[in-house]
Amino acid sequence: MNKLRRPVIAGNWKMFKTRDEALQFIYAINQEVPEASAVESIICANDVLLRCLVKRQGENLKIGAQNMHFEENGAFTGETSPLVLETTGVTYVIIGHSERRAMFNETDETVNLKLKSAIKHDLTPIVCVGESLEVRENGTTDDVVKQQVVKAYDGVGADEALKSIIAYEPIWAIGTGKTATPEQAEETIKAIRNVLVSLYGNDVASKVRILYGGSVNPKNVDVLLQQENIDGALVGGASLDPMSFLTLVKAAVK
Ligand SMILES: O=C(CO)COP(=O)(O)O
């Protein structure tokens, strides 16, 4: 791993786990999670579970949300305010996950508004980008992903960008068991870092963490994390089992 950038392993539980299952998971790993100074370990859970997880999180495990509204309050039935996340003790939030883009009308514009709002509320945004299989096959991955990054960071200053994390998740690799090869992931993540260079210069670009997501598991995590530009992983299925999640976290501090 590049020791200049602290690695991040974030579990995205999606709409899995009951309250009891979530608490069992936290109790099982709290004492085992490596020091936060060596790896940022995060569980992003369903909104209803956030409060009880925050109360029981250990020093080295942080809790994140999977989405939020960009407004602090208003007539937005069913939405979650960033202010509520902040005051609940949540410290991370996933923004623009492809499932939300595909099923819940998330757009590059709302991703941009949410990114700015999250930073304003001291939430570390994990900004998701990634291409469809069609885009991968027609060879325009870099263009599509670059555009997503440019639009997400429109009007975002360097100091704010430094507080954000990017997750590159090719849609065709999510939940399919088809991981991008380490070379494919590295190539696209390098292209994302180059966008940051053009937006903010070398120094900022070299400090922003960029994660890979899409069928990451304990077997493939090492080779992915060995890539120069991959600073960690955003993990769905393999984050649901406590021992599997711990293996991933420990792989990041090897
Ligand atoms: O969508 C993902 C994480 O946000 C990836 O999910 P899987 O790890 O289950 O492929």
To test the ligand 1 pocket, which listed residue (44, 234, 244, 247) has its Cβ within 8 A of the most ligand atoms? 234
Q: What is the Cα 25 distance to its own chain's centre?
A: 20
- Phi, psi for 14 (deg, rounded to 5): 50, -140
Question: So what's the ipTM on this one?
Answer: 0.99
In whole angstroms, give the CA distance from residue 164 to residue 94.
10
| Residue 3 forms part of a structural domain | no
| Residue 2 forms part of a structural domain | no
What residues are labeled active site?
A: 97, 169
pLDDT tens digits, residue range 63-79?
999 999 999 999 999 99
Hey, what are 118's tokens?
């999250």
- Predicted local distance difference test score (pLDDT) of residue 85: 98
Parallel, antiparallel or unpaired: strands 8-12 and 40-44: parallel
- Predicted local distance difference test score (pLDDT) of residue 3: 55
pLDDT tens digits, residue range 80-116?
999 999 999 999 999 999 999 999 999 999 999 999 9
Parent domain of 29: 8-251
Is the pTM above the cut of 0.95? yes
The residue with tokens 């190539």 is 187
pLDDT tens digits, residue range 227-253?
999 999 999 999 999 999 999 999 999
CATH number, domain of 63, equals 3.20.20.70
To test the ligand 1 pocket, which listed residue (8, 93, 235, 248) has its Cβ within 8 A of the most ligand atoms? 235
Residues lining ligand 1, CB < 6 A? Answer: 12, 97, 169, 174-175, 213-216, 234-238
| Residue 27 forms part of a structural domain | yes
Burial 102-128 (b: 16+ CB within 10 A, else e): eeeebebebbbbbbbbbbebebbbbbb
- Please give the tally of structural domains in the chain: 1
For the annotated binding site for substrate, the residues are 12-14, 175, 215, 236-237
The angle at the Cα of 38, spanning 32 to 42, to the nearest 5 degrees, equals 60
In whole angstroms, give the CA distance from residue 217 to residue 239.
8
| Residue 1 forms part of a structural domain | no
Taking CA atoms only, the protein residue closest to ligand 1 atom 8 is 236
- Phi, psi for 41 (deg, rounded to 5): -105, 125
